[in-house]
């Protein structure tokens, strides 16, 4: 791992100075190679699929592992899309001239070396490498052992793309070992890795957070809330709430607890209860909720704390906006929360005072995604407070350095 | 420490929503109290001074510890200056409207709870508390044991200022114990402290970096370089180099190694040698340097690595701009580096390719300071790559959250 780190650090210095054109060329070459080398890739992928089937991997996970024609075409399209995005490196911001005539500005530059630790999906190998490369970083990719043959084969394609553009071969390195100790080493290589983006289940991320000395760009939980205010429009409240829960059960922006103002509860909850029944969503409610929705099971303390990632929803009736915000402050994982209201003052207070990485007015929490925000793509979502917060795109993979220019001004 | 942390976390929620006006009022009240309570402050300070003298503290350090009339007036002026700065909280950036009509923006918000760990100077108690308060954060201040009576007395003033403005008393807490274990506890309170800014010697910061689980906004070393290019103007090169070394020997932006292009070495080094001799700066040079400056001692590998913080300068002659940048990449602490040149292409390459938190053209490295950059004040200088880099002002004590507003748009 240390050797990989040293090689990445050396490559990062070259990558930092690579032109936008060169990086675009490498990404386009990779997209082309995904198509022309399809058979080789699928042959390597087949080895992973056979092993996974033998190990009894669930069909849904097998499907994610498969490099089908469609999956490869999607990856190639993603590469071309990232290739076409503007180069974030080198732009100047916060430019000013000081009273003594010296010019001060901040220049956007790559972070350096980025580690990506992820589980089974081999498409992450391409997506993450592309975003890190576009932003001028060197990358070390450590995927799941189930996808090792696929990832190494994709690493070869990436290497060929780098070579075609004249970029250093160590700019993207796929860890070729499935040794679990490798992950523990990666997260402590503070001399060689600037930040690690872990993508995977809560178990993996919690373990990394305990062991890491390298900063992690991560979120652990997406315990997201929707609050239906007393001044909500009933139709919007219904549709937003249903969308927030049922767009997809397994994503981090899915609503897990619904808070409803007591004045509107009788008007909205029975209707929502009917829809959630039709959709097969199990409800767990506070006592007052259960008088309006007898179908709901009693909610416990644990329900307020849980990210179900499943067709289950906790529901609680509150007396005031403040009570809703208190509940959120106590239980939220600071990922994404939404208010549904037509009242400007309630909307403004909620958006100012709720301290989560994303705070919405009249929108479902499932919009939490870099592409939806206009970032073009995302490397992940962060609930860290430092550096990037919320969906992280190319900009979150860069940093700012100060650049000053003068003509011999002296201090003192 | 856990109780302090919990109190800070609770206060942070109130501070987040405090108006700019309220924060200004608190800062102005503190400035006034520094004057009206001068006698009490100086009586407490005298206890520290007597103990320090008994313990044989050096005169320079005694001087820093003293809350003289002038020192208190400077602190009050600093408070008023920070009070007058624009409130960084609540401003919106990166605003856009997505194709579906939803509006996306980023809102600047406080980081939350900030820990400050510092050594003897009691003025840090006021300066750091003021910057953290202005940016809407709660603060825990842990100063050196030599200043404990002064710091606790200043903490009382701060508390009175908070009370006058109706802000929570736990918004600023001065740790009242001199127990060294307290520091070790503070840096692991990840549930209650969002970031710690350590200010002090390298020993303290290195120790904290080893123990910390809370992110540190820090720099360890300021091993800063000036490179005199072959196309440098000789007068500017002389004056900038002398200023970079002699403005103050003990600050982190002081030049510690001078790199000189071989083509200009014979024209500039003897003149610089003469000036440094007059100023009492000891030179340590590479072999080629020593043929031009026989007064210079031989430089060893260790000299390239050392931040002297003293009237000592390492000098090395290089053959090319690339050799200078290689030296910097190898030995620099990524704090501040400067090129002196009239050649646009050399200036552009240096500023783009040198990977330090500040990179200058034709300016001395000793300008590395938030006030000089126009930040109004600084909490410290960071050589971290994530979050704030270089001098850190109010903005570095804040973060951005995403705020989205819509009218019932749904996903999918």
Q: Which of A247, A363, A410 sits opposite B412 (nearest CB)?
A: A247
Note whether A374 contacts B406, CB cutoff 8 Å.
no
Note whether A408 contacts B362, CB cutoff 8 Å.
yes
Do both B47 and B163 map to the same domain?
A: yes
Nearest CA in chain B to A113: B385
Note whether B373 contacts A109, CB cutoff 8 Å.
no
Q: Is residue A107 part of a domain?
A: yes
Q: Closest Cα to residue A238, out of A262, A260, A263?
A: A260
**Confidence (pLDDT) at B339:** 98
B347 touches chain A (CB under 8 A): yes
Task: Kindly state the average pLDDT of the residues A177-191.
Answer: 90
CA distance A145 to A47: 12
CA distance A151 to B95: 38
* pLDDT value at B376 more than 90: no
* pLDDT value at B200 more than 90: no
CA distance A123 to A317: 42
The alpha-carbon gap from A265 to the nearest alpha carbon of chain B, in Å, equals 19
Assign residue A174 the CATH number of its domain: 3.40.605.10
The alpha-carbon gap from B106 to the nearest alpha carbon of chain A, in Å, equals 9
Do both A185 and A284 map to the same domain?
A: no
Q: Are strands B92-97 and B103-110 parallel, antiparallel or unpaired?
A: antiparallel
- Residue pair A404/B367 in contact by the 8 Å Cβ criterion: yes
CA distance A39 to A150: 12
Q: Which of B102, B360, B401 sits opposite A357 (nearest CB)?
A: B401
Note whether B361 contacts A404, CB cutoff 8 Å.
yes
Do both B24 and B167 map to the same domain?
A: yes
As for how many domains chain A has, the answer is 2
Is B143 in a helix, a strand, or coil? coil
pLDDT single digits (tens) B292-344: 999 999 999 999 999 999 999 999 999 999 999 999 999 999 999 999 999 99
The alpha-carbon gap from B42 to the nearest alpha carbon of chain A, in Å, equals 30
A373 touches chain B (CB under 8 A): yes
The alpha-carbon gap from B240 to the nearest alpha carbon of chain A, in Å, equals 6
Q: What is the mean pLDDT of chain B?
A: 95
DSSP codes joined into one string, A124-188:
HHHHHHHHHHHTT-EEEEE--GGGHHHHHHHHHHHHHHHHHTT--GGGEEE-----THHHHHHTT
* Test mutation, B91, B95, B410, chain A, max A CBs within 10 A: B410
Do both B38 and B82 map to the same domain?
A: yes
The alpha-carbon gap from B39 to the nearest alpha carbon of chain A, in Å, equals 33
- Residue pair B58/B115 in contact by the 8 Å Cβ criterion: no
Do both A195 and A287 map to the same domain?
A: no
* pLDDT value at A120 more than 80: no
Residues, chain A:
412
A358 touches chain B (CB under 8 A): yes
**What DSSP designation does A86 have?**
P
Vertex B298, ends B296 and B302: CA angle to 5°? 120
B93 touches chain A (CB under 8 A): no
pLDDT single digits (tens) B211-269: 999 999 998 889 999 999 999 999 999 999 999 999 999 999 999 999 999 999 999 99
- Residue pair B377/B90 in contact by the 8 Å Cβ criterion: no
**Confidence (pLDDT) at A334:** 95
Share of residues in chain A with pLDDT > 70 (%): 100
Nearest CA in chain A to B386: A387
Q: Which residues pair with A381 in a beta bridge?
A: A391
Do both B188 and B303 map to the same domain?
A: no
The alpha-carbon gap from A412 to the nearest alpha carbon of chain B, in Å, equals 7
User: Which of A55-69, B43-57, B132-146, B394-408 shows the lowest per-residue confidence on average (mean pLDDT)?
Assistant: A55-69
Note whether A109 contacts B410, CB cutoff 8 Å.
no
**Confidence (pLDDT) at A179:** 84
Task: Kindly state the average pLDDT of the residues A336-360.
Answer: 97
A-B contacts at Cβ under 8 angstroms = 190
* Test mutation, B363, B369, B376, B405, chain A, max A CBs within 10 A: B363
Taking contacts as CB-CB distances below 8 angstroms, the residues of chain B near A215 are: 215, 386
Q: What is the mean pLDDT of chain A?
A: 95
Partner A, chain B 9-28, Cβ-Cβ below 8 Å:
13, 16-17
Do both A15 and A91 map to the same domain?
A: yes
pLDDT single digits (tens) A349-394: 999 999 999 999 999 999 999 999 999 889 999 999 999 999 999 9
Partner A, chain B 176-195, Cβ-Cβ below 8 Å:
194-195
A279 touches chain B (CB under 8 A): no
* pLDDT value at B120 more than 80: no
Domain range spanning residue A141?
2-217+379-404
**Confidence (pLDDT) at A94:** 87
Q: Is residue B373 part of a domain?
A: no
Do both B297 and B275 map to the same domain?
A: yes
- Residue pair A182/A201 in contact by the 8 Å Cβ criterion: no
Reported ipTM exceeds the 0.85 cut: yes
Do both A67 and A166 map to the same domain?
A: yes
Note whether B405 contacts A363, CB cutoff 8 Å.
yes
Task: Kindly state the average pLDDT of the residues B398-403.
Answer: 97
Do both A284 and A143 map to the same domain?
A: no
Taking contacts as CB-CB distances below 8 angstroms, the residues of chain B near A104 are: 373-374
* Residue A187 main-chain phi, psi, to 5 deg: -75, 0
* pLDDT value at A226 more than 80: yes
Q: Residues 6 or more apart from B348 whose CB is under 8 A from it?
A: none
A408 touches chain B (CB under 8 A): yes
B375 touches chain A (CB under 8 A): no
- Residue pair A47/A149 in contact by the 8 Å Cβ criterion: yes
Do both A16 and A58 map to the same domain?
A: yes
**Confidence (pLDDT) at B285:** 98
The alpha-carbon gap from A54 to the nearest alpha carbon of chain B, in Å, equals 35
* Residue A411 main-chain phi, psi, to 5 deg: -100, 140
Q: Is residue A412 part of a domain?
A: no
Nearest CA in chain B to A253: B411
B357 touches chain A (CB under 8 A): yes
Q: Which two tokens stand for residue B238?
A: 């002389």
* Test mutation, B10, B229, B408, chain A, max A CBs within 10 A: B408
A402 touches chain B (CB under 8 A): yes
**Hey, how many other C-beta atoms are within 10 angstroms of the C-beta on B170?**
23
Note whether A399 contacts B389, CB cutoff 8 Å.
yes
pLDDT single digits (tens) A197-216: 998 888 889 999 889 999 99
Q: Is residue B86 part of a domain?
A: yes
The alpha-carbon gap from B412 to the nearest alpha carbon of chain A, in Å, equals 7
A372 touches chain B (CB under 8 A): yes
Q: Which residue has the tokens 């190898």?
A: B330
Q: Is residue A409 part of a domain?
A: no
CA distance B139 to B162: 12
Q: Closest Cα to residue A297, out of A315, A309, A280, A311?
A: A315
Do both B130 and B256 map to the same domain?
A: no
Q: Residues 6 or more apart from A39 whose CB is under 8 A from it?
A: none
pLDDT single digits (tens) A287-333: 999 999 999 999 999 999 999 999 999 999 999 999 999 999 999 99
B147 band by pLDDT with thresholds 50, 70 and 90: very high
Assign residue B346 the CATH number of its domain: 3.40.309.10
CA distance A397 to B142: 33
Taking contacts as CB-CB distances below 8 angstroms, the residues of chain A near B195 are: 385-386
A91 touches chain B (CB under 8 A): no
Partner A, chain B 217-256, Cβ-Cβ below 8 Å:
233, 235-236, 239-240, 243, 247
Q: Is residue A411 part of a domain?
A: no
Nearest CA in chain B to A411: B367
**Confidence (pLDDT) at B119:** 85
Q: Is residue B410 part of a domain?
A: no
Q: Closest Cα to residue B244, out of B259, B256, B234, B233?
A: B256
Question: In this predicted model, which residue has the larger pLDDT, B102 or B120?
Answer: B102
pLDDT single digits (tens) A73-116: 999 999 999 999 999 999 999 899 999 999 999 999 999 999 99
pLDDT single digits (tens) A259-285: 999 999 999 999 999 999 999 999 999
Note whether A358 contacts B402, CB cutoff 8 Å.
yes
Nearest CA in chain B to A107: B352
CA distance A153 to A40: 8
Q: Is residue A374 part of a domain?
A: no
Taking contacts as CB-CB distances below 8 angstroms, the residues of chain B near A233 are: 408
The alpha-carbon gap from B131 to the nearest alpha carbon of chain A, in Å, equals 17
* Test mutation, B367, B370, B390, chain A, max A CBs within 10 A: B367
Taking contacts as CB-CB distances below 8 angstroms, the residues of chain A near B367 are: 102, 404, 409, 411
Q: Which residues pair with B259 in a beta bridge?
A: B227, B316
Nearest CA in chain B to A209: B213
């Amino acid at each position: 791992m240390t050797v990989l780190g040293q090689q990445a650090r050396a490559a990062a210095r070259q990558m930092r100075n690579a032109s936008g054109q060169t990086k675009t060329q490498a990404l386009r070459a990779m997209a082309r190679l995904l198509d022309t080398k399809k058979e080789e890739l699928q042959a390597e992928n087949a080895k992973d699929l056979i092993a996974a089937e033998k190990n009894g991997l669930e069909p849904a996970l097998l499907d994610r592992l498969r490099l089908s024609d469609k999956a490869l075409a999607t990856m190639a399209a993603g590469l071309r899309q990232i290739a076409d995005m503007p180069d974030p490196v080198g732009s100047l911001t916060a430019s000013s001239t000081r009273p003594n005539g010296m010019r001060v500005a901040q220049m956007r530059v790559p972070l350096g070396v980025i580690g990506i630790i992820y589980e089974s999906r081999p498409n992450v190998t391409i997506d993450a490498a592309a975003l890190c490369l576009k932003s001028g970083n060197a990358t070390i990719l450590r995927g799941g052992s189930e996808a090792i043959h696929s990832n190494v084969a994709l690493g070869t394609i990436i290497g060929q793309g780098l070579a075609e553009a004249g970029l250093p071969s160590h700019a993207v390195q796929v860890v070729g070992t499935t040794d679990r100790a490798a992950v523990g080493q990666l997260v402590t290589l503070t001399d060689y890795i600037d930040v690690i983006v872990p993508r995977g289940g809560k178990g993996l991320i919690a373990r990394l957070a305990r062991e890491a000395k390298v900063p992690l760009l991560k979120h652990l939980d997406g315990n997201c809330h929707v609050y239906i205010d007393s001044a909500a429009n009933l139709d919007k409240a219904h549709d937003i709430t249903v969308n927030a829960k049922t767009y997809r059960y397994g994503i981090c922006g899915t609503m897990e607890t619904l808070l409803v103002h007591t004045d509107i509860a009788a008007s909205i909850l029975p209707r929502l209860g009917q829809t959630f029944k039709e959709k097969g969503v199990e409800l767990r409610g506070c006592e007052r909720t259960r008088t309006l929705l007898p179908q709901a099971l009693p909610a416990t303390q644990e329900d307020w704390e849980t990210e179900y990632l499943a067709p289950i929803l906790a529901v609680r009736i509150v007396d005031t906006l403040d009570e809703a915000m208190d509940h959120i402050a106590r239980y939220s994982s600071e990922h994404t929360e939404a208010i549904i209201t037509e009242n400007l003052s309630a909307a403004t207070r909620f958006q100012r005072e709720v301290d989560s990485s994303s705070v919405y007015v009249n929108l479902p929490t499932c919009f939490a995604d870099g592409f939806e925000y206009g970032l073009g793509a995302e490397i992940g979502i962060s609930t860290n407070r430092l550096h990037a917060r919320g969906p992280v795109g190319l900009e979150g993979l860069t940093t700012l350095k100060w650049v000053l220019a003068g003509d011999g001004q002296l201090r003192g």
